[in-house]
Structure 1
Amino acid sequence: MKRQCWFCASETTATRHDRVVGLHRDVQSNPTWYLGIRTKWQSNSVRVPRCERCHHGHIIEQSMMALSIAAPIAYAASGQLDTLLGILPSTSGGKVHAVIWAVVACLPTPVWIATRQAWLPWNRLAPRRLRHARRHPAVQQLREDGWHYRPGPFPYGQNAKDPVPERLSGPSARPRRILGRITGLLGLASCVVTVVLYFRDSELAALFLVLALGLFFLSSKIDPEM
């Protein structure tokens, strides 16, 4: 069955690349006998058609967002921020070195913004960002009926349920989702360790860099929601 990708208007048939948007309503919070609060709500979800290209483009966008967060953290953890601010004593050459690495640490942020806005001339990027799925007519129709964005009320982090049970990723996607997120976090931690080891002139920096790239690749293949 031919469908039109909501993000780039191209034809697509692979349902495993679809974006599932979760919504909720009728939130009820009641006290329990053990002095807690039990919250209940109704949940619903919409499958927004998405092609393979836009799926991979959104993965790149999310990876750049993670890198834009991890790079400044790694820069501060390496001690270069203290050198730049004059907290640690250093020579003029050391401060120049700290300034250069500060620029490098900030570079992922504009690259992420350019990736998110599809400003880069790369055909693997999605023309519209992931949040564009909320503008789908089926989602907007539910919004008019009183449904709210997110699969559950804040701060509950319930994942959106796939409205189509015959999803290509298999009926049991939750273990894959958890494993994919854990793998991604390990890859992010490996990036931080790589930068710290590099500043310490350790030969293990290259090993952790390869490990981080491998973990990010595995995360993109394991997590069905990415």
Structure 2
Amino acid sequence: MNPVECWFCSGPIRGGDYLRFDMYRNAQYTPLLVAVHVRSERAWVNIPRCARCWFGHGVERVTRWVFLGSALVTGLPTVLMAGSYLGGDPWADSWQIVFPWIWTLAWLGLWLGVRQHRLPWRFLAPRPERHAREHPAVAALAEEGWKPGGPLG
């Protein structure tokens, strides 16, 4: 792989287009009264990424978060409606719960289509952002005991 080629699609990149992939090791957790203090060694790898893959990864991230938010917002009225039925006093317009469910399922379908590359959109990245874990520099650090992400997430 040429350093000026995108790791995700092998297309050309501009000068500073990179995905910063964070890694850590030797995490030490110190419990405090209401939180946890964490010390760790941190490193990162700059993985070359073109503008198309940057945009495609952003689309995948946004659809995932909108779907999760929609699922949370849909879950609350569903639980309340189920409670009203169990309590013996059902909602008069309980059929309206269908609309949030349709909205949530539509976002689920969109997110899965983007993530599994089932949509023929040219601006989506051919490989997901998690493909960065297979980069040679990341693999070399992983062999030395480094872990992807941060020590708390």
Q: So what's the TM-score if we normalise by structure 2?
A: 0.79
Name the SS for the 1:12 alignment partner: coil
Q: List gaps (5 residues or longer) in structure 2.
A: 85-89
Name the SS for the 1:111 alignment partner: helix
Name the SS for the 1:48 alignment partner: strand
Amino acid at match of 1:99: V
In 2, Cα distance between equivalents of 1:43 and 1:66: 27
In the other structure, the counterpart of 2:151 is: 153
Q: List gaps (5 residues or longer) in structure 1.
A: 156-226
In the other structure, the counterpart of 1:26 is: 26
Shift of 1:23: 1.1
Cα deviation per residue 1:52-84 (whole Å; 9 max; x = unaligned)?
A: 01101111111101110121233345x46644x
Asked if the contact 1:23–1:43 (Cα under 8 Å) also holds between the matched residues in 2, the reply is yes
In the other structure, the counterpart of 1:7 is: 8
CA RMSD of aligned residues (A): 2.9
Asked if the contact 1:25–1:147 (Cα under 8 Å) also holds between the matched residues in 2, the reply is yes
* Greater helix proportion: 1
Name the SS for the 1:123 alignment partner: coil
Alpha carbons of structure 1 residues 39 and 95: separation in structure 2 relative to 1, 3 Å: closer
Asked if the contact 2:3–2:48 (Cα under 8 Å) also holds between the matched residues in 1, the reply is no
Amino acid at match of 2:58: I
Instruction: Kindly indicate whether structure 1 or structure 2 has the higher relative contact order, using CA contacts under 8 Å at least 6 residues apart.
Output: 2
Q: So what's the TM-score if we normalise by structure 1?
A: 0.56
In 2, Cα distance between equivalents of 1:127 and 1:31: 42
In the other structure, the counterpart of 2:91 is: 89
Amino acid at match of 2:10: A
In 2, Cα distance between equivalents of 1:74 and 1:107: 14
* Greater strand proportion: 2
